[in-house]
Structure 1
């Protein structure tokens, strides 16, 4: 059974040339937390999603997977 993908954080980090560690340091959180988001094992809160979007200079919606995909 395949895992449902809810966010594109890993892909956007790669597009921006940033690492999980970069994001963890910027948000002052554990790298393991970012890793769990990137593997879709866990999802960030709405507040964190907007902080991630600000850090990556994208719209928050760009971090989410469209239901059409």
Structure 2
């Protein structure tokens, strides 16, 4: 069974900002279970939602994503 790769850093950024998933869910008008899935990388927020999250947390959107290297 293949492990899912971490795509976002939302859980880490929330800890750095001393905020909870429940708080973020309230700010975005989302279900806390949805935010929990994002934090555990079970599901991913859409691009528009990532923009909202970056504004609410006052971080650059790139801080919410795990960096990748392009190989050609």
Q: Please report the RMSD computed on the Cα atoms of aligned residues, expressed in angstroms.
A: 0.9
**2 CA distance for matches of 1:34 and 1:55?**
14
Tell me which structure has the larger Cα radius of gyration: 2
- How many residues get paired? 68
Q: Which residue of 1 aligns with 2:60?
A: 59
Q: Which residue of 2 aligns with 1:23?
A: 24
**1 CA distance for matches of 2:57 and 2:43?**
19
- Structure 1: segments with no counterpart, 5+ residues: none
**2 CA distance for matches of 1:28 and 1:3?**
27
* Equivalence map 1:3-22=2 (5 Å): 3-22=4-23
Provide the TM-score with structure 1 as the length reference: 0.94
